[in-house]
Amino acid sequence: RDHLTEDEMTQIAIYLSWGGKLREAETELRALLRKNPANTRARTQLARVLLWSGNQEGVNNALTEAETILKKLPADQDALYIKAEGLRFKGETDRAIAIYNSLLVRSDDFDTRIGLSYAYLEKGDIGQARMTSLPLRPVFPYQKQDFEKLSRELEKASMPPPKIATVSQADGLKAE
């Protein structure tokens, strides 16, 4: 490790996170940030890793890291995206939608657009979720999986609720 540059160690931590080794990546990224708190690339990846942890504490910590970046770089697209995702995961869909939309004005991006689609879906606006998802074109395998999952969620949300027999209707049923 001592012979690797800060950039090389950051890249290794990124690869670890992409490989699903989130704890190891977090450990490496925190060590890098202890040495150089101004390493925006490491801080951004740490925020992603914390977000990917899938728990509320991780989401809250990811938002804190994103805000740290945004204090210095208010237009940082990665930090804004992480903030939008974190807000969506916390159920603050209106705030997330505003950020996603501001990002899409700058650049149409698969991850931002799918996040916006999910935010509309979670808000109960199935039509807007569907419209937002129309331009999605997966390029990478993870995007294809995310797109297929969103498509299933949209289909499920569009289905009418199942009919449930009332007690009086059930009394009229015959056992065979």
SS (HEC) of 99-152: HHHHHHHHCCCHHHHHHHHHHHHHHCCHHHHHHHHCCCCCCCHHHHHHHHHHHH
Burial class (CB in 10 A: 0-12, 13-18, 19+), 139: exposed
Q: pLDDT class for 176, splitting at 50, 70, 90?
A: very low
**Predicted pLDDT at 170:** 53
For residue 24, give the H/E element and its range. Answer: helix 22-35
Residue 168 or residue 101, greater confidence: 101
Q: Which pLDDT tens digit goes with each residue over 64-111? A: 999 999 999 999 999 999 999 999 999 999 999 999 999 999 999 999
Angle separating helix axes 110-123 and 93-106, nearest 10 degrees: 150
pTM of the model: 0.85
Distance between CA 4 and CA 8 in Å, rounded?
A: 6
